[in-house]
Structure 1
């Protein structure tokens, strides 16, 4: 189950990161400059964010399995369209369609975990899925670079077609339905809107979702800026994206592994404090390095990202399970709204902040500091608001009024 859910979560990041090495080739063939190519990420993320509001509630109504299978089928068709695109407008259209379907694996997969398990067991499975999911951003640009070594950029999208078809078959044969008909909620627009408003206006949800989104934003700023960071700042070639992604994702996987191993042995509050401390040290060290060194080089330029990713890997399972446990009958809606919050943030980072900051490595490093500080500030606000005891976890420490 961990491998299947991890694979389902992977195909979304795969559709972002595999095309990074192909940016120069796609831009040259389609007549698009760097800023226009950046929109292939932001369009995808905006569509992903908007549709993420639907995936979760739809799975609450008709079951997890049907939604995942349907989303995978649409993603296959969208990837075929991307491979056959001959102009930027067509490519952006099918990238948006990819974004509309790519969220089912990650968003609905989280609810499957919480359907099956509770407490420390849920944290362990969430951590295992995060470890597998973390492989995607590391190997995706490497695979993209390999493909470009023997074929042109459309073959990257044909690879995504094959990968998503394999996931569809694995889901059909390997994923049971975890949300029985008796527990399902009918799709009623008024009720859904009321639920979303109630969840979004819940101060605790706002603090937890903001803490997660801003904390990851420090790392995503570099992910969205990967072409500029690797090719222009580090002065590496299109087959060298692994120098950036492998250490970063290794840190995230290690953090997720430690989170799973410490479940039940260390309080969620303490684990989160350690994670945020690692993020703070990482972003500050990154600023210092870029101020002191004239030309950044491997591996020193990417080690701070590795530590930052480790901290995120420690914090993410705690925050996510805390949000899902707030709404036991509406986990799909809660997962969707959390994903929407994070995705809107990521889309703004990719479409606005990354093009603005990525031309200067010091500005990029300072941007990461701001995001890490905001994530920590919202987490501290949550700790103060609930005064969570040091010996307890975040997940079960819910007030009765937080539940809908």
Structure 2
């Protein structure tokens, strides 16, 4: 693959992957203004984030089989077109309930880019290179939390939160045009691929039979859930608890996200000397430590704004090591069902994200404690899944070896 072509493909795949994060991050500084204009409170506005996560989760299950049957690009075009129309609906919403519905539809469209980009990485690169490519995609995705909240804060302050969605509409329209003219198809349509419900469910079940997929998907999903809890709860913590302005919050969000970006690029370098399997447990362990410290510190009012920024930065940096490696390992066993596996991976990640962001809203008590609680809990669950899952796999491997040795001994006798 020529260097220029490889760079262009990775850039476009990164832009597709960034649609979801950009759609999440850009309107966060507008939460107080949205609540005021739509006559509700910030906790109800947070439900628009939960509906977005639910839409992404459900939508990815729809796009996975479509990407395997029709190739990667046609379903992608449909999804991006739906996103553009739903963004217009978000901008015109007259109530928080309307915004919740249109955010759901926006997510249904935007998730096509996330599923297609992961499947195309699996199509175009081998396992070790995939982890490096996912790290590079995270570099593009990382521009979202660096720029989106800052842009969203200034746009909201200058002309209002509705124009945030108009800007999102324009960005995705440009991405759609770039994909039409510059992104090559990585998988040809499969006419014999059945879209019957029974066949789709069987393929999903086959994916779940692969222990490597299950372990790394669920472990990474709960680490991501901690990140999404941070996304949902950070506007309240930094703007209402610590008193930051909407523009200052944008800069704080960008600063913390910068830790994630740096981590992904360090990860790409570390992969030259070690493996993804060795990186992941260390990253999740340190993320768990940061999550526990956040919860305890928030509960006892130990942390101010600066210390909270530092701990949140550590938490997100660990995600920069976990996501690219776990994604590569989870998808590695699949060739024919890469689209379905990618859809399940994304669905599970976003479903846990929807749950964690909703829990931040449910436990809302005008303090920072609920955010620390959910972030710490998610990290502990992720570490438990990883250690337990790998332990079960090792046990089964040893058991299989013992059984084989026993059979061989009996045969020799």
Q: TM-score, normalised by structure 1?
A: 0.90
Contact 1:214 1:372 in 2 (8 A): yes
Matching residue within 78, 97, 102 for 2:86: 78
| Residue 60 of structure 2 corresponds to residue 52 of structure 1 | yes
Change beyond 3 A, Cα 1:312–1:358: farther
Paired residue total: 387
Residue 178 of structure 1 corresponds to: 186
Task: Output the CA distance in 2 between the equivalents of 1:36 and 1:286.
Answer: 24
Matching residue within 344, 361, 365 for 2:368: 361
User: Deviation string for 1:272-323 (max 9, x for gaps)?
Assistant: 13212321332234345435655612x3211111111121111112211122
RMSD of aligned C-alpha atoms?
A: 2.1
Q: Secondary structure at the match of 1:185?
A: coil
Task: Output the CA distance in 2 between the equivalents of 1:281 and 1:184.
Answer: 49
Task: Output the CA distance in 1 between the equivalents of 2:378 and 2:246.
Answer: 28
Matching residue within 44, 49, 60 for 1:41: 49
Change beyond 3 A, Cα 1:320–1:184: farther
User: Deviation string for 1:50-102 (max 9, x for gaps)?
Assistant: 11101121111101111222211111111111112223333222212101111
User: Deviation string for 1:208-263 (max 9, x for gaps)?
Assistant: 22201111222221111122112112211111223432232112112211221122
Task: Output the CA distance in 2 between the equivalents of 1:184 and 1:134.
Answer: 38
| Residue 105 of structure 2 corresponds to residue 105 of structure 1 | no
Worse-superposed segment, 157-166 or 193-202: 193-202
Q: Secondary structure at the match of 1:301?
A: helix
Contact 1:48 1:99 in 2 (8 A): yes
Task: Output the CA distance in 1 between the equivalents of 2:191 and 2:290.
Answer: 44
Give the alignment of 1:13-52 within 5 angstroms: 13-52=21-60
Task: Output the CA distance in 1 between the equivalents of 2:164 and 2:246.
Answer: 14
Residue 229 of structure 1 corresponds to: 237
Give the alignment of 1:57-136 within 5 angstroms: 57-136=65-144
Change beyond 3 A, Cα 1:71–1:381: same
Give the alignment of 1:135-214 within 5 angstroms: 135-181=143-189, 185-200=193-208, 202-214=210-222
Contact 2:215 2:385 in 1 (8 A): yes
Contact 1:219 1:305 in 2 (8 A): no
Contact 1:279 1:311 in 2 (8 A): yes
Worse-superposed segment, 336-345 or 130-139: 130-139
* Alpha-carbon distance, 1:147 to partner: 0.5
Change beyond 3 A, Cα 1:284–1:27: closer
Q: Secondary structure at the match of 1:176?
A: coil
Change beyond 3 A, Cα 1:365–1:345: same
Matching residue within 353, 357, 360 for 1:350: 357
Q: Secondary structure at the match of 1:236?
A: coil
Contact 2:15 2:175 in 1 (8 A): yes
Give the alignment of 1:363-382 within 5 angstroms: 363-382=370-389
Contact 1:215 1:375 in 2 (8 A): yes
Contact 2:64 2:339 in 1 (8 A): yes
Residue 249 of structure 2 corresponds to: 241
Task: Output the CA distance in 2 between the equivalents of 1:358 and 1:226.
Answer: 14
* Alpha-carbon distance, 1:19 to partner: 1.4
Change beyond 3 A, Cα 1:217–1:187: same
Worse-superposed segment, 129-138 or 88-97: 88-97
Change beyond 3 A, Cα 1:38–1:340: same
Change beyond 3 A, Cα 1:292–1:71: same
Residue 390 of structure 2 corresponds to: 383
Which one has a bigger Cα radius of gyration? 2
Task: Output the CA distance in 2 between the equivalents of 1:332 and 1:184.
Answer: 15
Residue 406 of structure 2 corresponds to: none
Residue 323 of structure 1 corresponds to: 330
* Alpha-carbon distance, 1:109 to partner: 0.3
Task: Output the CA distance in 1 between the equivalents of 2:203 and 2:316.
Answer: 33
